[in-house]
């Protein structure tokens, strides 16, 4: 997806996760892809690069091929109580 588990962008922290960066909304989104035209740090097909090309021509013309997302349901809703006995993670 172009981000570590903490939310830190690969473009800013390519070697390892940086939880402090992931928590800082101002710093965490202050990046572009101009210094990575071949997509070695943040792959050209990853979600963040397709959803917001940020001036990069990897996903097409900058700001022209922006992806719009919409959530969708997969199948009918589960009945009440179906997950009550499901094991919890951890």
- Answering whether pTM is above 0.75, one says no
Q: Residue 42 corresponds to which tokens in the numbers above?
A: 């943040």
* Domain boundaries of the chain, sorted by first residue: 1-90
- Does the pLDDT of residue 26 top 80, yes or no? yes
Cα Rg of the chain (Å, integer): 17
What share of the chain in percent tops pLDDT 70? 72
Q: 3 or 50: which carries more pLDDT confidence? A: 3
Q: 58 or 80: which carries more pLDDT confidence? A: 80
Q: 88 or 23: which carries more pLDDT confidence? A: 23
Q: Residue 22 corresponds to which tokens in the numbers above?
A: 């992931």
| Separation between Cα atoms, residue 5 and residue 17, nearest integer Å | 7
Q: Which of 43, 66, 46 is nearest to 54 (CA)?
A: 66
The pLDDT assigned to 55 comes to 65
């Amino acid at each position: 997806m172009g981000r570590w588990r903490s939310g830190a962008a690969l473009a800013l922290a390519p070697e390892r996760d940086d939880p402090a960066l992931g928590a800082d909304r101002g710093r965490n989104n202050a990046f572009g892809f101009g210094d990575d035209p071949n997509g070695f740090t943040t792959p050209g097909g990853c979600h963040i690069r397709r959803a917001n090309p940020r001036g990069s021509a990897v996903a097409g013309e900058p700001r022209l091929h922006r992806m719009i997302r919409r959530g969708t349901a997969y199948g009918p809703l589960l009945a009440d109580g179906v997950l009550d006995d499901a094991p919890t993670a951890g």
